[in-house]
Amino acid sequence: MLKEIGVWICTQVPGLTRGANLQVGYRDQKAPVRCHTILESGGQVPDFELPDRIDYLLQVASRAETYQAAREDAWAMFNALHGTAGWRIAAIVSGGPAYIAQVIEALAAPQYLGQDEKGAFEFSTNYTFRMIRA
């Protein structure tokens, strides 16, 4: 489901290209300095009473050359995702399930992480995607 969410996020945030400034699953060493990385931060949490529903936990790390650019990017992602609802996230794999994001919630506002080993500034936000099979 991580790839599907990455493809969907590219449709929600202008200027993102999966594999370039939107990294999915890990950050490639060749990724541009200014980029977002979508990571699983707990995976899928099943609801045993509602078997078609899952909570999918993600982290979005935003990195840029300057503090202000990284902060701006993290908030742009936050504003595009947090509190939104009713999105259909299509299956990439033929025959795989599609999902409806009933609601997407940030667990907190974007948080500053500091600078990485090359001096780029990083922010992080964790999200819960409350999903059901479409």
Q: Please give, one letter per residue, the 3-state secondary structure of 88-116.
A: EECCCCCCCCCEEEEEEEECCCCEEEEEC
Beta strand pairing call for 53-64 and 111-115: unpaired
Residue range 64-101, pLDDT digits in tens? 999 999 999 999 999 999 999 999 998 887 778 889 99
pLDDT of residue 134: 85
Confidence (pTM): 0.88
Please give the domain boundaries of the chain with CATH numbers for all domains: 2-133 (3.30.2000.10)
- Provide the residue type at 17 as one letter: T
Mean pLDDT of the chain, nearest integer: 91
Q: Give the CA count within 13 Å in the CB-facing half-sphere of 59.
A: 15
Joined tokens for residue 62 = 């935003």
C-beta of residue 130 within 8 angstroms of C-beta of residue 122? no
Q: Which of 2-16, 20-34, 41-55, 96-110 has the lowest mean pLDDT?
A: 41-55
At residue 43, does pLDDT exceed 90? no
